[in-house]
């Protein structure tokens, strides 16, 4: 990437004074004609130059034979010629002083090795001359407010709006433009990234967010080029404007092998979820959600809580809406007696005055408006979901017109579920013109309200979401890792214990015995009862192979146990290196959880927390967050796993020392962030004792890259 060259600014892509279209064509069936048509018809206020070696004219403008001969101003070029000619044209652009080029041409990396070689040559020239490349193999970009349509897509383009769209897929761009027009919302900017030979998704975040017409950024991602930088740049933006992302490719056919539960469970999607959460990016699961949520975020005020009132003219849809709200983590507001009394004055005796408020099918437009205003005035109501099928006695359009002023004058969000199709079209048009988000079914309207609440909570927590520097002995760990004979592989028990102690992580010291007599001697020093575990770097699941024996209460049991463990392992793993047997003090019972850390190739260090013991991969009750952890990260991981919620106490389980777990999570996160050479760290299980009594690491594995 060309990041340190002053001429590498992306500004010409988004505010060009003059544009050169290289590959303009007078043939109306060629893309070069479509791109020329869009540039002219979009009413771009700058200068447009057409370039074609054959000369002639196009759309009343001359076609120049070469980009070198173009008059000023020209600071951006769009190249739409066969791939084999692009490299030479790029040199001409450099000679003309053009440092921003959209390569719309295909035929590069996406076509195979020969195309990849051509793309590499393209970037070699671009870097040499300080040229930024958007593409190749992209459809270009557009800005509805500048205005600029530098794409070859068929007209009409999208209407002006406040939602920006950044996409790895050109075909998705074409579909979204047409779909947006049909759904009644507009776009501010659209950027098609293509092969991302140079400019990538992270590069364009800031310039798109700086556009004052853009209220929400939406992303279609197939991956990210630099995970850590993406998180850093996105986080700067989400404190000001929301970002909603649809990350595709969620279900890879294979899973990489790993030496620990943490490594096995830390798949690509868990990493993306953790990265999006840290960056404040809202992740959509479907294309429909992406733009459902974008409209609500662009048009609605944010709620101050999750208590929602439902206003409906039909019982069944009201119940559906109630289910949808709860499914999305929202709750039904408890209406005040004053609110219910006012509703009673507005509605017939048979109406339901509790939430959901059912006005009955006969509800008039005036009743819709008055009841909505009453609900919004209730201090216990954070937002309203209005649900209505086609009214039998009135028009849906009349209902919409009476509610719109009420919605505009409120600082609480309102989403509309207009159930139907033909009979509601007038209402649809009214709501869209007024920038009130409407959906066909309650589930979508409830989902939009939940995202508004998520956004509000993020902004509230973001103010205090700083990581704290914990008191640790980093120098001791650095010396240990530097002095090791091997720079990779598993650390032994003594090394692991030293690292835990340096970072004040809960440790239960291990002592290595290499004979049965030594095992007896160590056990007597430690104090009975003891636990014995096989010491072998090759064995991750010790208990499965008969490599763990608990509650050994006397010397005879230890001596027999030592021989038994060695025999078990030799049978199960005939070629495994056996260093001996670890002796550990037997500790009281408690709740068991797992803590892990791993270095993700995309996003760096991550911490895992969840249900521990032998069932961790079966239950998959785990949560991940990027390291180092904030207090909010650690709390979120506990509250979003059964293992964490159970620490509060459950049935016959006493409340456990939750604070000890939070402290251990943050310290493990700092260790992973401080030492990226630690590929995997796993404490499984971490036994958590009752409140204020701490925790102990029963089994710990650490592996260097």
Question: Domain ranges in the chain?
Answer: 6-214, 301-462, 474-585, 591-704
Q: Which of the residues in the chain have pLDDT under 50?
A: 1-8, 253-259
Report CA dihedral (446, 452, 455, 461) to the nearest 10 degrees: -90
* C-alpha to C-alpha distance for 167 and 191, rounded to whole angstroms: 6
How far are the Cα atoms of 92, 107, 593 from residue 86, in angstroms, in the given order? 10, 10, 57
Measured over all CA atoms, what is the biggest interatomic distance in the chain, rounded to whole angstroms? 101
* C-alpha to C-alpha distance for 563 and 550, rounded to whole angstroms: 14
* C-alpha to C-alpha distance for 45 and 569, rounded to whole angstroms: 78
- pLDDT value of residue 297: 98
Which one, of 372, 359, 363, 392, lies nearest residue 436 by Cα? 372
How far are the Cα atoms of 103, 152, 530, 682 from residue 79, in angstroms, in the given order? 5, 12, 74, 52
* C-alpha to C-alpha distance for 314 and 361, rounded to whole angstroms: 6
Instruction: Please determine whether the domains at 6-214 and 474-585 fall in the same fold group of CATH.
Output: no
pTM: 0.89
Residue pair 39/149 in contact (Cβ under 8 Å)? The answer is yes
* C-alpha to C-alpha distance for 330 and 462, rounded to whole angstroms: 21
* C-alpha to C-alpha distance for 3 and 226, rounded to whole angstroms: 13
User: Would you say domain 301-462 falls under CATH 3.40.50.300?
Assistant: no
**pLDDT of 403-450, one tens digit each?**
999 999 999 999 999 999 999 999 999 999 999 999 999 999 999 999
- pLDDT value of residue 260: 55
- pLDDT value of residue 379: 98
Output the CA angle 356-357-360, nearest 5 degrees.
Answer: 120
Name the CATH superfamily for 6-214. Answer: NAD(P)-binding Rossmann-like Domain (3.40.50.720)
How far are the Cα atoms of 89, 90, 125, 612 from residue 95, in angstroms, in the given order? 10, 9, 12, 63
Name the CATH superfamily for 591-704. Answer: ATP-grasp fold, B domain (3.30.470.20)
* C-alpha to C-alpha distance for 670 and 664, rounded to whole angstroms: 10
User: Would you say domain 474-585 falls under CATH 3.30.1490.20?
Assistant: yes
How far are the Cα atoms of 204, 263, 391, 393 from residue 364, in angstroms, in the given order? 49, 60, 8, 8
């Amino acid at each position: 990437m060309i990041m340190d060259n002053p001429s590498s600014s992306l500004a010409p892509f988004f505010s060009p004074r003059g544009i050169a279209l290289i590959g303009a064509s007078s043939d109306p069936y060629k893309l070069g004609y479509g791109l020329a048509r869009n540039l002219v018809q979009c009413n771009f206020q700058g200068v447009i130059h057409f370039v074609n070696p054959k000369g002639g004219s196009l759309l009343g403008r001359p076609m120049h034979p070469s980009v070198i001969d173009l008059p000023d101003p020209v600071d951006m070029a769009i190249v739409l010629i066969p791939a084999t000619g692009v490299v030479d044209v790029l040199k001409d652009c450099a000679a003309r002083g053009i440092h921003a080029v959209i390569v719309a041409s295909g035929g590069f990396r996406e076509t195979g090795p020969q195309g990849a070689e051509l793309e590499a040559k393209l970037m070699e020239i671009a870097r040499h001359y300080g040229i930024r490349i958007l593409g190749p193999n992209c459809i270009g970009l557009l800005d509805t407010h500048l205005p600029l349509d530098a794409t070859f897509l068929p007209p009409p383009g999208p209407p002006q709006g406040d939602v920006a769209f950044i996409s790895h897929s050109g075909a998705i761009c074409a579909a979204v433009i047409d779909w947006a027009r049909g759904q009644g919302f507009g776009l501010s900017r659209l950027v098609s990234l293509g092969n991302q030979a140079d400019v990538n998704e992270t590069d364009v975040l800031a310039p798109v967010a700086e556009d004052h017409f853009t209220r929400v950024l939406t992303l279609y991602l197939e991956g990210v080029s630099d995970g850590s930088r993406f998180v850093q740049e996105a986080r700067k933006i989400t404190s000001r404007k929301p970002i909603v992302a649809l990350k595709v490719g969620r279900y890879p056919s294979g899973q990489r092998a790993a030496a620990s539960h943490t490594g096995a469970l830390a798949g690509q999607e868990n990493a993306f979820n953790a990265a999006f959460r840290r960056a404040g990016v809202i992740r959509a699961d479907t294309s429909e959600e992406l733009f459902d949520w974008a409209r609500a975020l662009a048009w609605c005020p944010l709620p101050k809580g999750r208590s929602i009132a439902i206003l409906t003219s039909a019982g069944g849809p009201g119940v559906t809406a109630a289910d949808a709200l709860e499914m999305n983590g929202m709750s039904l507001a408890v209406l005040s007696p004053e609110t219910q009394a006012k509703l009673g004055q507005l509605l017939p005796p048979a109406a339901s005055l509790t939430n959901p408020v059912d006005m009955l099918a006969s509800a008039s437009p005036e009743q819709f408006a008055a009841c909505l205003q009453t609900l919004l005035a209730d201090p216990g109501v954070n937002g309203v979901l209005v649900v209505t099928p086609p009214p039998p006695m009135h028009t849906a359009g009349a209902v919409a017109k009476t509610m719109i002023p009420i919605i505009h004058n409120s600082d609480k969000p309102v989403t509309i579920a207009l159930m139907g199709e033909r009979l509601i079209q007038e209402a649809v048009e009214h709501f869209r013109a007024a920038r009130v988000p409407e959906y066909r079914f309650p589930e979508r309207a409830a989902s939009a309200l939940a995202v508004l609440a998520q956004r509000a909570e993020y902004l509230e927590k973001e103010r205090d979401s700083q990581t704290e520097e914990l008191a640790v002995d980093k120098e001791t760990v650095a010396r240990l890792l530097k002095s090791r004979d091997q720079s990779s592989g598993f650390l032994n028990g003594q090394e692991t214990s030293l690292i835990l102690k340096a970072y004040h992580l809960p440790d239960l010291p291990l002592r290595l015995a290499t004979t049965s007599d030594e095992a007896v001697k160590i056990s007597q020093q430690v104090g009975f009862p003891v636990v014995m575990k096989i010491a072998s770097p090759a064995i991750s699941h010790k208990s499965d192979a008969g490599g763990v024996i608990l509650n050994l209460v006397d010397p005879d049991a230890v001596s027999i146990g030592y021989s038994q463990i060695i025999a078990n392992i030799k049978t199960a793993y005939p070629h495994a290196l056996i260093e001996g047997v670890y002796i550990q003090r037997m500790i009281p019972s408690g709740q068991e959880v797992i803590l892990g850390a791993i270095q993700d190739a995309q996003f760096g260090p991550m911490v895992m927390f969840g249900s521990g013991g032998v069932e961790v991969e079966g239950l998959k009750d785990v949560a991940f967050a990027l390291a180092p952890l904030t207090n909010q990260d650690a709390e979120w991981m506990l509250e979003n796993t059964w293992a964490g919620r159970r620490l509060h106490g459950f049935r016959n389980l006493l409340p456990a020392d939750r604070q000890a777990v939070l402290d251990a999570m943050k310290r493990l996160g700092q260790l992973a962030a401080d030492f990226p050479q630690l590929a995997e760290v796993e404490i499984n299980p971490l036994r958590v004792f009752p409140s204020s009594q701490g925790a102990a690491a029963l089994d710990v594995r650490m592996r260097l890259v």
